[in-house]
Amino acid sequence: MGWIPYLLTTAWLLPLASFLIVSFFGRKLGFAGRGSAHVATGAIILSLTCSVIAAGLWLHFFPLSSSKEHASDLTGDAFACVSSQELKPEYTLAASRLASQSETSHSHAPEGDLTKFAKHANSPNEASFASFHVSHEQGLSENTAHFSVPTLAGTWWVFAEFGQLKLPIGYHIDALTILMMVMVTVIATCIHIYSWGYMAEELQGTVVDHEITRTDGIPPVVRPGRFHRYFQYLSLFSFSMLGLVLANNLFMVFVFWELVGICSYLLIGFYLERPAAVRAATKAFVVNRVGDFGMLVGIAAFWAATGTVTFTDDSQRPGLFTVAAQLKQFAAEEASAGLEAQGTHLMLPGGPQDPRSLTYFLLLLGGLGIFCGCVGKSAQFPLHVWLPDAMEGPTPVSALIHAATMVAAGVYLVGRFYPALPPEVLLIIAAVGTVSLFLAGTMALVAKDIKRVLAFSTVSQLGYMMFGLGIGGWVAGLFHLITHAFFKALLFLCAGSVIHATHTGDMTQLGGLLRKMPWTAVTMLVGCLAIIGAGIPPWGGLSGFYSKDAIFAQAYLLASHGGLLAKIFLSVAVLGAFLTGLYIFRLWFLTFVGPSRDPHHLEHAHESPAVMLAPMVALAILSVIAGWSVPLTGISIPGLLLQADSRPHTVMKSPLWPDWALPPEADSHAHEIHSPASWLAFCAGTLGVLTATIFYGLRWLDASLLARLFPILYRLLWNRWFIDWLYEKVIVSITLRLAQVVAWVDKKIIDAILDGAAGAVCTFAFAEDLFDRRVVDGAVNSIGHFAYRLGSEVRRVQTGFLRQYLAIVVASIIILFCLAQLL
């Protein structure tokens, strides 16, 4: 077991080593930097190996218990509300007290058969086998199960220490970490290998960029190939994402979060000669700044609320999650007690001045802030605008960004922070996810560029994940993250294959590629089927079927208990499933079947080389099987996620708004919930596919007819709901106007003041110089001159004639006497 942190840390640091090697020696490695691809790919393959071995060790030491999966069956009426508990007025935030509470709850927690505790003596460094508890106060709720998640957490090195605040470099390993490490390295490996083929033209000494349209007469841009640079960024990207996954504290999360951001900036702007790419990269970066500002606020708020930045308990202090979970639990109890006693539930009993309610609001603020960062990274509704533009980067990079790294980081972080997120924040997450999945789904319907459709699809699917997480489907949301990573990477690689073959991504010029590129077409079909969640409800299907079903089941469970809001959520999700089927098969049909709209492209089309097809086939296989469990052992992705699920099996109720209550996820596995939800998703998806077949596959109806029939709707969708336009008009133009005003003030007023001041100083200096030269120097010089003159005059007296001297003496004495007599 002690090996697992070492293995995963190695897996994390290998891409960094590759990055450094390629940075320093990239151009010298092989012809035009060909060797840098070998270095980077070798590093990521080693990382993958380490991660897989670590996963194997993990499963060996912490086998998945089957009892937890059926916890719902055993628990009976789980939807009963948490009964009001007696108040604990002496509750304080003092760390020592919390620590002692953790101690007692450790000893009192019914450990049962759910988790396996083990003390390992020879721990690496100061690693401690910390078992993460959602620990509640002692004797609190008998109906609350205490789930302990097996976790390996520890610190390699304390980066800095400011009083109580420690900024460590450490690791936090639970089943989610293991799963993410494996997923990221698998996808990154596939994309590294694929890039050998896709980026091959960068190997030439000079590359002519034909994408840049120039006006007549000006030759196209010619630049040196940047093969090594590409793999350098790719390695840094992998390193950043793995570091983010492995992080055990807010400080590390933020550092790697920003590293991921800068890598995406570098890669989106990889073709830096293209103005569109530069704009897109800048847009991605700036939009992410907006989110990251919220994230910084959130980090500060979490730190203020819990007094620590480390996730798990260590020997001295309780971890962030422990304290946050206690705060949440306490607020829920206070609220339910206050609801009965005072008829008010909008505030904790002490009112707004109560420091405890302040702490809870800090927790809310922290959760919102973290989610704000995730909205930026995961391209959710208000900040989704950067993702479609990010398609300017090389296609494998889009695959990496959309599947494993950048946008996955946001969803992962929400999942990681789940124990610390209060229900009110989850409501906002669910709402944002719902809006995103709907808006992006509709935008994808009219997009013409193959990659842009996939980009909108990503936003939509990320919306599903956020929605799933927000409505309490922690396992469902993260499960969808993993499966989506596989099929979205696959879809992007297939799109890249098409673009590589035809040099265009415009679907209005494609069509009929099925015969020319059978491998690409079939693997892409697998990806499309996976993304719509193809499968027959009672039996099963591709990976997307399971993950999407899990989200739908949770939504259905919520809707069956909750109010209007929950029903709206469910209906939008169903609508989203319909849209998914429609847009993704529109893409497939437009690209691969039907007559070619531009024979020129079809003529030159060719199947991609094997180095590109192999990762596609591998990802296609993974897209099919990712939802299944390993035969005989029962190991599956949701099983692993369940192991990492730290939530108690209770209804999570909002202290501020009791109508918002999240049922435990295990209840959604019940047949009467799961089955209708499954059929709902199936019908919606099938309807979408059928619609796409009618319009684009069989072309019984003309899609452009619809555009003509509903011009307003079409324009609305084509202009992406005018959100970009709105930002452009409102935020960008106001900012630009403001910048102009500021620039004017700067130039006209501040510069004038500065220039005037400088001029005055110059004049004064000139006058002072004159004074210095003429008066001061003049005085000094004239004194010196006078002394010199006097000396040279007096010098003549000294003739060397002794008798003359004597005569002078005598004469002088006589004169002196005479003078003395006269006076």
The residue ranges that bind other proteins (CB under 8 A) are 795, 798-803, 806-807, 810
Indicate the SS3 state at residue 688: helix
The candidate with the shortest Cα–Cα distance to 345, out of 331, 354, 335, 337, is 335
Q: Which residues contact 84 (CB under 8 A, 6 or more apart)?
A: 333, 336, 337, 339, 340
Nearest-approach distance from CB 795 to other proteins, in angstroms: 5
In the bound state with other proteins, the residue whose beta carbon lies nearer, of 771 and 801, is: 801
| 684 touches 578 (CB < 8 A) | yes
| 649 touches 71 (CB < 8 A) | yes
In the bound state with other proteins, the residue whose beta carbon lies nearer, of 536 and 811, is: 811
In the bound state with other proteins, the residue whose beta carbon lies nearer, of 94 and 814, is: 814
Nearest-approach distance from CB 821 to other proteins, in angstroms: 17
In the bound state with other proteins, the residue whose beta carbon lies nearer, of 353 and 798, is: 798
Helix (H) or strand (E) holding 390: none
Number of other residues whose CB lies within 10 A of the CB of residue 435:
18
**Residue appearing with tokens 């007023």:** 749
Quick one: CA dihedral 252, 255, 259, 260, positive or negative? positive
In the bound state with other proteins, the residue whose beta carbon lies nearer, of 671 and 803, is: 803
Nearest-approach distance from CB 805 to other proteins, in angstroms: 10
Distance of CA 90 to the CA centre of its chain: 39
Number of other residues whose CB lies within 10 A of the CB of residue 683:
14
Nearest-approach distance from CB 820 to other proteins, in angstroms: 18
Nearest-approach distance from CB 788 to other proteins, in angstroms: 14
Longest dimension (CA), the chain: 146
d(CA 109, CA 107): 6
In the bound state with other proteins, the residue whose beta carbon lies nearer, of 698 and 807, is: 807
219: DSSP letter: P
Nearest-approach distance from CB 800 to other proteins, in angstroms: 2
The candidate with the shortest Cα–Cα distance to 175, out of 67, 69, 70, 62, is 62
Q: What share of the chain is helix, strand, coil (3-state, %, to 5)?
A: 70, 5, 25
d(CA 194, CA 184): 15
d(CA 779, CA 776): 5
Query: Any idea how long the chain is?
Result: 823
Nearest-approach distance from CB 803 to other proteins, in angstroms: 5
In the bound state with other proteins, the residue whose beta carbon lies nearer, of 346 and 810, is: 810
Nearest-approach distance from CB 796 to other proteins, in angstroms: 9
In the bound state with other proteins, the residue whose beta carbon lies nearer, of 206 and 799, is: 799
Contacts 24+ apart (CB under 8 A), 710-717: 714/446, 717/442, 717/443, 717/445, 717/446
Helices 406-416 and 227-246 cross at an angle (nearest 10°) of 10
In the bound state with other proteins, the residue whose beta carbon lies nearer, of 119 and 803, is: 803
Nearest-approach distance from CB 811 to other proteins, in angstroms: 11
Nearest-approach distance from CB 814 to other proteins, in angstroms: 11
Q: Six-digit token pair at 718?
A: 């084509």
